[in-house]
A and B are shown apart, each in its own frame.
Chain A
Amino acid sequence: MSTDLTWTDVSGRATLRGWTQIFIPAVPGREAPITVAECALAEDPRSILVVLDESGATNGAAIGAPVAIGFRRDDNGWSYPEIVKASAASR
């Protein structure tokens, strides 16, 4: 373990570790259903990013499918990771 930490850019490439479609209103301001995905970053698969998938691309996708993650900025200036594209395999 080291305390010598530095910022580094990552590619946004990841693999799909799991997903669920939630049919009850789980996020205020968003209508159900929504799709939530867990993505393991290519640079270090131990780093798991949980994202909303508004593209719907992961819904039905196979576990392990490649995905790409970007950021979306909301009206308050906050940035949220989201799926920008996913493999169309196993739809």
Chain B
Amino acid sequence: MRRSQSVVIAGFGASEITRRSERGITAFSLDAALAALADAKVDRSQIDGYVGAPFSTNADARHAEGGDEISLKTAANALGLKSLAYGVDLYRRYATDMVVSAAHALVAGTCRYVLGLRALYNLPGPPPAVPSAAVAYGGEQFTRPFGYMAAGARFATRARCYMERHGVTRGDLFEVVALSRRHAALNPSAVWRDRPLTREAYLEAPMIASPHSLFDCDMPVCGAAAFVMCLERDLPAGATGAHVVGWGGFATPSNVFEMSGLGRQDVVHCQLYDGFSSMVYEWLETFGFCEEGGAWKFIRDGHGDRDGRLPINTFGGSLGEGRLHGIGHLREAYLQVTGKAGERQLQRAGPALVQVGPFDDSSFVMLRPEAA
């Protein structure tokens, strides 16, 4: 697969990120979308495409429109988007898939400026990791009776297996969480920004689904982020574009390298999905950034730090920033690649690899400051 035309993310915006709020998901969404439009120097009247991925990831999600999810129709109405040539909500997909769908609409010529929006909302009520309904429908019939989708159980079983096979301890797993907290300290939006975590406090934290304790799980939050994409030739004056040079879907991960014409040795930082701490290991090993079974040492030895060989989750990841389900990872890659990361700006801006989703359901985007 080759790119026929150069596609850019022209701007990014985000709302505040907070654990609870009196404001609704639409307000957070508007904050993010208007900030993205301003950053991209695009007027909302120019937006003719929209991609969303409204899905509350909480185990006990109400999936309520305008409650913990916001759809294309509500967002377009609230934003006054009157000239959408194409709009779509992706079903249970990720920020990285939103980029690909926006690119398709641009390259096909259907749209000139596509808005992407992802919003999460932590509704009041029972703990969001705990399913309260006694009845399950659809695919959940086969997982909910066993608690498999609660508390990240299916990632915990995998982490257990990894740790046993490679001799990893909870103390080693702490290194991922500590890395997130260090990086979150430089992210003004992060929910854990001024909350350093000692090894002792980590090891004493209540267990959620062993071997994951409270601090191995990302914090449910209210927050939204949005971006504007266009072809390079349509990038507005004054906007800074990050070139989308490659992508890969869950069945073809390596396509992100083949399409971009880059190898893993070219990647200078990566933003890896970390809904649970042990997830950070997955793609470091699968893509060969370190040896199989060696990701925990890679993190422990500082290679993922800002001055390390491959800075990882330089905004603090979901573990440091809060559960934005991967749009935070995409935003960080954009900010770094365009030199807008402020206090946490890395010297080498790109190429940047973004991965969002579980080990068996990830999608990928490669961003860089320049076209291929």
Contact = CB atoms under 8 A, between A and B. Distances in A.
B81 interface: no
A80 interface: yes
Nearest to B149: A26
A25 interface: yes
A52 B150 CA distance: 13
B133 A36 contact: no
Interface in B10-27: none
Contact of B164 (A20, A24, A50, A62): A62
A22 B146 contact: no
Interface in A1-51: 17-30, 34, 36-38, 50-51
Nearest to A49: B146
B157 to A, nearest CB: 3
A88 interface: no
A58 to B, nearest CB: 10
A63 interface: yes
A81 B158 CA distance: 20
A21 B209 contact: yes
A38 B143 CA distance: 11
B110 interface: no
A37 B151 CA distance: 14
A27 B146 contact: yes
A17 B157 contact: yes
B145 A24 contact: no
A27 B134 CA distance: 8
A34 B131 CA distance: 14
What is the size category of the interface that chain B forms with chain A? Answer: 20 to 34
Contact of A21 (B131, B133, B161, B210): B210
Nearest to A38: B157
Nearest to A78: B145
B78 interface: no
A24 B207 CA distance: 9
Contact of A22 (B132, B161, B208): B208
A26 B211 CA distance: 16
B196 interface: no
B107 interface: no
Contacts of B208: 22-24
A52 B211 CA distance: 17
**A interface, over-half SS:** strand
B145 to A, nearest CB: 6
Contacts of B132: 28
Considering residues A21, A22, A29, A52, which has the most beta carbons from chain B within 10 angstroms of its beta carbon? A22
Nearest to B133: A28
Interface string B99-114: 0000000000000000
Contacts of A25: 130
Given A22-B153, A24-B129, A26-B151, A50 B160 contact: no
Nearest to B134: A28
Contact of A52 (B133, B146, B161): B146
Contacts of B134: 28-29
B144 interface: yes
Contacts of A50: 142-143, 146, 148, 154
Contacts of B142: 50
A52 B147 contact: yes
Nearest to A80: B145
A21 B207 contact: yes
A63 B210 CA distance: 14
B2 interface: no
B235 interface: no
A36 B145 contact: no
B239 to A, nearest CB: 45
Interface string B187-229: 0000000000000000000111111100000000000000000
A36 B147 contact: yes
- Identify which of A20, A27, A29 gathers the most chain B CB atoms within 10 Å of its CB: A20
Contacts of A37: 157
6 contacts: A17-B157, A23-B207, A24-B127, A24-B151, A26-B150, A50-B154
Interface of B: 59, 127, 129-134, 142-148, 150-151, 153-154, 156-158, 160-161, 164-165, 206-212
Interface of A: 17-30, 34, 36-38, 50-52, 62-63, 80
